[in-house]
Amino acid sequence: MERDGKTMSQTPTTNRFGIELKLTDRCNFSCFHCMNSDAPRKGQHLDIDLFLSRFEDWRHESTELGVRITEVRITGGEPLIRAEEILKIARSMSTVAVPCGVNTNGILLTPNLAARMKDAGIGIVKISMDSLNEDILHRMRGGRFSVRKLLNGIQNALEHGLKVILRFTLCQYNLAELMACFKFARDAGVYKFQIKPLIPSGRGRYSDTSLSVESIQNALGELYRETRAGDDFLEVLCFPEKLPASAQDRSCASLEKIYIHANMDVTTCNYIAEHGHLGNLARDSFREIERGRQAALQKAILYNRRHFLNGCPLFETEGGRCRVARGDEPDATLLTPGFS
C-alpha cells in the first residue's frame, strides 16, 4: 500500500481500501497545526472490544462483496498513550493477516515498547519529524517537545526491525529545516521520508504559516536534485500541483482509505470529516459504509490529471468551478465532474 502512490492518485481502485483508526482523541502535545484539534485532556478513547467485534463483521461482509481491507493504521491523538490497546489490535490483525501500523509523534516509543510492537505484528511506524531544531519544534509542538526523545524513538523503532516512515509537515516555521531533515532521514536508513504541506484543517485553519505553491515547489526542487531517478524514498502527500515525472506522490491517499474516529464515526478523510461522513461503525453495516464510499469516489475532482476527494480544504468551489485555495486557477479543461 505504501509504494503504489502513483497508481493510487491517478487511477483510484474501488475494490480495496485501508483503515486509519483513531485510537484516542487525546495527545501528549498540543501542536499548532493538528488536523483534529486534539489536546492532552480532550476527547475520548475508542471502544477496542466493540471495534474488534465489528471489524470481524466487516471483514466477512467485505469478502462477500469482493472488497479487500489492505491495512489498519492506528493513529490519534497520540496512540502510544494507549500502548496496550495498540498491541491488542495488532495481535488481532495478525490472526487474519491484515497488516497493521502506527502513526505517532515518537516521544513515547521506548525500546521495550518497540520490541513489543514488533512482536505483536506491527510492520510500519510513521513518526512525525518537523525539525531537528529544538526552538522550532517548541514553536510547532509546545515547549515540552524534545529532539532527544524524538531521535531516541526513531532509533528504537529502527533497532527493533520496524519499518520507519518520517513525516514532515512543511510550513513557514520549518522551511529552512527541510533539507537537514531529509538528509537525516536518508542517513538514518528509514524506509521513506514523506512531506505534507500544511493543510488548513483543525488548528491549522487558524494559522497563517502555509507556504505559497511557488515556495513549496522551490523547496521540493532542491530535494529532487538530491534523489536518483526511480528512487521512491522521497514522497509528497496532499500537494495538488504538478511534480516531475520521476517524483513519488500520493495526491489523495483517501481515495483508498477510510477513517474510523474514536466515537466510531466513519469518514472519507481526516481533513474533510464534516463533509465526508459515511456512517458509524457501531451501527452501520459494511455494505452501507461501502455504498457511501463509492458515492464519494464518484464525486472526486480531477485536477492536474489527478483525483482528489470533493470537499478537500485545498480546494474551493465557486459557481461550479474549482480552484486551489493556495494558488492560481487550474486549467479548466482538466476539471471533470467524476471519473473518466
What are the 10-residue block averages of pLDDT along the chain, 340 residues in total? 40 80 90 70 88 96 94 96 98 97 97 98 97 94 91 98 97 96 96 92 77 92 84 90 84 90 92 82 95 89 83 66 51 32
Q: Among residues 264, 259, 232, which one has the least CA distance to residue 248?
A: 232
Asked if residue 126 lies in contact with residue 120, where contact means CB atoms within 8 angstroms, the answer is no
Spell out a b/e string for 200-239, using b for 16 or more CB atoms within 10 Å of the CB, else e.
Answer: bbbbbeeeebbbeeeebeebbeebeeebeeeebbbbbbbb
Sign of the Cα torsion 235, 239, 244, 249 reads positive
Asked if residue 186 lies in contact with residue 178, where contact means CB atoms within 8 angstroms, the answer is no
Pairing outcome for strands 315-318 and 321-324: antiparallel
Cβ burial of 14 (10 Å; 0-12, 13-18, 19+) is: middle
Quote the CA–CA distance of 230 and 247 in Å, as a whole number: 8
Which amino acid would we find at residue 99?
P
Give me the numbers of helices (H) and strands (E) for the chain, helices first please: 9, 15
Helix (H) or strand (E) run with residue 59 in it: helix 48-65
Q: What's the pLDDT score for residue 334?
A: 35
Q: Among residues 284, 242, 248, 244, which one has the least CA distance to residue 264?
A: 284
- Right CATH number for 5-300 from 3.90.480.20, 3.20.20.70, 3.40.50.1820, 3.30.70.330? 3.20.20.70
Mapped onto helix, strand or coil, the DSSP state of residue 91 is helix
Neighbouring-strand partners of residue 103: 126
Give the Å distances, CA to CA, from 61 to 68, 72, 289.
10, 17, 11
Q: Which residue ranges make up each domain of the chain?
A: 5-300
Quote the CA–CA distance of 250 and 85 in Å, as a whole number: 29
Mapped onto helix, strand or coil, the DSSP state of residue 79 is helix
Quote the CA–CA distance of 9 and 22 in Å, as a whole number: 23
Quote the CA–CA distance of 140 and 52 in Å, as a whole number: 35
pTM for this predicted structure: 0.88
Directed axis angle between helix 111-120 and helix 147-159, to 10°?
A: 40
Q: What's the pLDDT score for residue 143?
A: 82
Helix (H) or strand (E) run with residue 137 in it: helix 134-141
For the record, the C-alpha cell of 51 comes out as 471495534
Helix (H) or strand (E) run with residue 301 in it: strand 301-303
Q: What's the pLDDT score for residue 207?
A: 76
Q: What's the pLDDT score for residue 308?
A: 87
Neighbouring-strand partners of residue 26: 39
Rg of the Cα trace of the chain?
A: 19
Which amino acid would we find at residue 301?
I
Q: What's the pLDDT score for residue 101?
A: 98
Quote the CA–CA distance of 10 and 304 in Å, as a whole number: 10
Directed axis angle between helix 213-224 and helix 178-188, to 10°?
A: 40
